[in-house]
């Protein structure tokens, strides 16, 4: 409870723009920064293995990541037992986009993800343009990113 309260206090004190300079490390040890994706749309998708709506998004996120050179997807796993569990899940579901193990410190770079799934969407100039809570379909993403 105290940990959650401290987290919320820190969250309130940080500007939401902090995510515009994120730096995360994926399961393979590769670092991903927003600046590294300059010129591309970036979707940072917070999810959990136990979350049915999150699982519904995975095929569309894979298709977008694999099919659109102007768009990158980064998945952030939350509420997991250990890295081995997430690696197995990623392999079993053929998730081709980078997966990051989320924690409280990482969440401070973005804001909150109290609803899963939550997706932070950045335009090609690196500006946060939308935080979407709930299922986000390929059609919604295509519409949002059209004319980029």
Q: Residue 10 pLDDT more than 70? A: no
pTM: 0.85
Q: Which of 122, 125, 143 is nearest to 39 (CA)?
A: 125
Distance CA 23, CA 79 (A): 20
Q: Residue 38 pLDDT more than 70? A: yes
* Segment 70-123, tens digit of pLDDT: 999 999 999 999 999 999 999 999 999 999 999 989 999 998 899 999 999 999
């Amino acid at each position: 409870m105290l940990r959650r309260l401290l987290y919320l206090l820190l969250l309130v004190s940080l500007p939401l723009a902090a995510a515009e300079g994120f730096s995360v490390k994926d399961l393979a040890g590769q670092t991903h920064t927003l600046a590294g994706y300059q010129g591309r749309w970036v979707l940072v998708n917070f999810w959990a293995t136990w979350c049915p709506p999150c699982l519904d998004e995975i095929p569309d996120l894979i298709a977008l990541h694999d099919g659109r050179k102007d768009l990158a997807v980064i998945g952030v796993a939350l509420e997991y037992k250990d890295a081995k569990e997430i690696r197995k899940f990623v392999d079993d579901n053929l998730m081709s986009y980078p997966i990051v193990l989320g924690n409280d410190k990482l969440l401070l770079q973005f804001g909150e993800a109290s609803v899963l799934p939550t997706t932070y969407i950045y335009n090609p100039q690196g500006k946060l343009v939308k935080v979407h809570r709930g299922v986000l379909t390929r059609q919604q993403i295509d519409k949002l990113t059209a004319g980029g």
